[in-house]
């Protein structure tokens, strides 16, 4: 009771003070306490400060804590150079070429410590012909470091020692007003780095924040600048959207702002076919749900879903040209992956899993003999089955197939035997022929035409 009373009086008397060009917001107003900071980030700021440097928790972590969300990771900003940070922490290493950062290791946790940076002065700036910054690794002070960040809510510095927040751009007020606002002139900031347009979409969807009108306005006329962004970076940002836990809102927002064109080129086509759109949106909703339940999601599964209707269309074409189903499927997969790679750099390392998931879809049709048993033993059966369920839910295949496989996984050997469909005569004959030719061979996994 007394505590509550004291808190109220204290809160009333707590005031924002100025320090240079920053507003300093005390704990009594913002309420983020030191123990909400990860162990590693506390240690990094404590030890750097003990060594005589400035050190703050910055960026997404401060923003997320203020919004009562659990931060993904904790970043620290400091006036110590990367070499100086290295000297304070034995278990650390310098990474990055464009920006040199230090990763400090605490058991499983990795804290990223970056030296305050400044925006490069116009005359020194290396930009491409569209005004995009090519290099911005110039050390600066805290105020300059705040100015080079994107949104006001991303430019707050939290000092775990004093539990105060330093705010140079009104980010605290914007956060309270649920407003995503670009620091500086939005058009200039998008020209420097067009990916900021996508970050506006992703962060507003994820944080349920409105985009300030002046921040949103230039996007419509500047969106073509995204064409100049290296593919790998675009893919990175698209993946962040798809795995943000709010992918449905992100895609809807991209559509609304007309930013989706050229970003996921095949998606444009797919979203225009009713079945394709239903399937993709179901896959995204399913991913969002898994993330909210802390279940793992794989980028390969998601890419496989995004491209499925393209694969289906190509598969049909190849079959119409007289190819057998499995051969036609291989041709279709290679064609679609090749086309997609030319525009959006889906890394090769996902190919094998995507193909496995797609090929399994053919095998789900096979419900006779030994084939269903062998399919169950596939290491990626679960992913393939989840994919099949999405196909059922979107209306592409009959629910009966998904129900059959759901039951088949979970019942006794006797019931499984009852469930099996009779082998087709042609199937049996083919197998007998094969066995006669090659006595050591067993039945093939290939589906029949």
Structure tokens at 357: 């998931």
The size of the interface with ligand ATP (CB under 6 A), counted in residues, is 12
Is residue 26 close enough to count as binding Mg ion by CB under 5 A?
no
**List 64, 75, 79, 167, catalytic entry:** 75
Report the alpha-carbon distance of residue 305 to residue 192 in Å, rounded. Answer: 33
Which region among 95-103, 149-157, 265-273, 346-354 touches ligand ATP (by CB under 6 A)? 149-157
Residues 167-206, interacting with ligand ATP (CB under 6 A): 193, 195-196, 199
Burial 181-201 (b: 16+ CB within 10 A, else e): bbbeebbebbbbbbbbbbbbb
193 in active site: no
Among 40, 60, 171, 384, binds Mg ion (CB under 5 A): 60
Report the alpha-carbon distance of residue 72 to residue 25 in Å, rounded. Answer: 23
Q: Which of 45, 117, 107 lies closest to 76 in space, CA to CA? A: 45
150 in active site: yes
Is residue 276 close enough to count as binding ligand ATP by CB under 6 A?
no
Is residue 171 close enough to count as binding Mg ion by CB under 5 A?
no
Task: Give the nearest distance from C-beta 350 to Mg ion in angstroms.
Answer: 23
Task: Give the nearest distance from C-beta 260 to ligand ATP in angstroms.
Answer: 19
Task: Give the nearest distance from C-beta 112 to ligand ATP in angstroms.
Answer: 9
Identify the sign of the CA torsion 18, 173, 194, 310: positive
Report the alpha-carbon distance of residue 112 to residue 107 in Å, rounded. Answer: 14
Which region among 53-61, 83-91, 147-155, 372-380 touches Mg ion (by CB under 5 A)? 53-61
**List 46, 73, 159, 236, catalytic entry:** 73
* Residue 149 interface partner, choices Mg ion, ligand ATP, none, CB cut-off 5-8 Å depending on type: ligand ATP
- Bridge-based pairing of strands 109-115 and 75-78 is parallel
Report the alpha-carbon distance of residue 153 to residue 172 in Å, rounded. Answer: 7
Contact 402, 392 (CB under 8 A): yes
Task: Give the nearest distance from C-beta 63 to ligand ATP in angstroms.
Answer: 7
**List 64, 79, 145, 150, catalytic entry:** 150
Is residue 149 close enough to count as binding ligand ATP by CB under 6 A?
yes
Q: Which of 251, 277, 271, 265 lies closest to 345 in space, CA to CA? A: 265
* Residue 37 interface partner, choices Mg ion, ligand ATP, none, CB cut-off 5-8 Å depending on type: none
* Between 218 and 384, CB nearer to ligand ATP: 218
Report residue 15: phi and psi, to 5°.
-135, 150
64 in active site: no
Task: Give the nearest distance from C-beta 89 to ligand ATP in angstroms.
Answer: 20
CA atoms within 13 A on the CB side of 279: 28
Beta strands in 168-287 (DSSP E): 179-180, 210-211
* Between 77 and 392, CB nearer to Mg ion: 77
Report residue 277: phi and psi, to 5°.
-65, -45
Contact 56, 77 (CB under 8 A): yes
| Catalytic annotation, residues | 73, 75, 150
- Interacting residues with ligand ATP (CB under 6 A): 59-60, 72, 75, 149-150, 154-155, 193, 195-196, 199
């Amino acid at each position: 009771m007394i505590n509550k009373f004291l808190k109220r009086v204290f809160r009333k008397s707590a005031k924002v003070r100025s320090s240079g060009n920053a507003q300093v917001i005390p704990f009594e107003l913002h309420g983020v306490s030191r123990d909400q900071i990860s162990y590693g980030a506390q240690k990094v700021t404590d030890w750097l400060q003990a060594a005589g440097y400035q050190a703050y928790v910055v960026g997404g972590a401060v923003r997320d804590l203020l919004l009562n969300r659990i931060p993904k990771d904790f970043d620290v900003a400091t006036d110590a150079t990367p070499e100086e940070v290295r000297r304070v922490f034995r278990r650390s290493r310098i990474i990055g070429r464009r920006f040199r950062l230090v990763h400090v290791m605490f058991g499983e946790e990795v804290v990223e410590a970056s030296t305050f940076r400044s925006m490069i002065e116009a005359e020194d700036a290396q930009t491409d012909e569209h005004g995009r910054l090519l290099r911005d690794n110039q050390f600066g002070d805290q105020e300059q470091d705040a100015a080079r960040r994107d949104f006001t809510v991303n430019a707050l510095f939290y000092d775990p020692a004093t539990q105060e927040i330093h705010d140079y751009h009104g980010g605290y007020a914007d956060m309270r007003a649920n407003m995503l606002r670009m620091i500086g002139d939005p058009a200039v900031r998008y020209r420097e780095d067009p990916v900021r347009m996508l970050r506006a979409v992703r962060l507003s969807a994820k944080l349920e924040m409105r985009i300030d009108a002046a921040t949103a306005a230039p996007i419509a006329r500047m969106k073509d600048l995204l064409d100049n962004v290296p593919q790998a970076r675009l893919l990175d940002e698209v993946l962040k959207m798809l795995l943000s836990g709010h992918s449905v809102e992100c895609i809807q927002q991209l559509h609304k702002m007309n930013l989706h064109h050229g970003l996921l080129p095949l998606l444009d086509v797919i979203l225009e076919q009713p079945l394709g759109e239903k399937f993709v949106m179901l896959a995204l909703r399913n991913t969002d749900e898994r993330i909210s339940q802390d279940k793992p999601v794989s980028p390969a599964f998601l890419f496989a879903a995004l491209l499925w209707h393209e694969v289906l269309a190509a598969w049909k074409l190849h079959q119409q040209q007289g190819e057998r189903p499995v051969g036609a499927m291989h041709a279709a997969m290679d064609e679609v992956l090749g086309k997609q790679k030319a525009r959006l750099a889906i890394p090769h390392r996902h190919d094998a899993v995507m193909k496995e998931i797609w090929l399994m879809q053919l095998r789900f049709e096979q419900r006779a003999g030994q084939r269903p048993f062998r399919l169950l033993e596939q290491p990626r059966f679960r992913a393939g089955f989840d994919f099949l369920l999405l196909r059922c839910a979107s209306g592409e295949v009959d629910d009966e197939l998904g129900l059959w496989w759901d039951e088949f996984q979970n019942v006794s050997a006797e019931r499984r035997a009852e469930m099996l469909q009779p082998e087709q005569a042609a199937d049996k004959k083919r197998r007998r022929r094969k066995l006669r030719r090659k006595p050591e061979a067993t039945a093939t996994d290939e589906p029949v035409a």
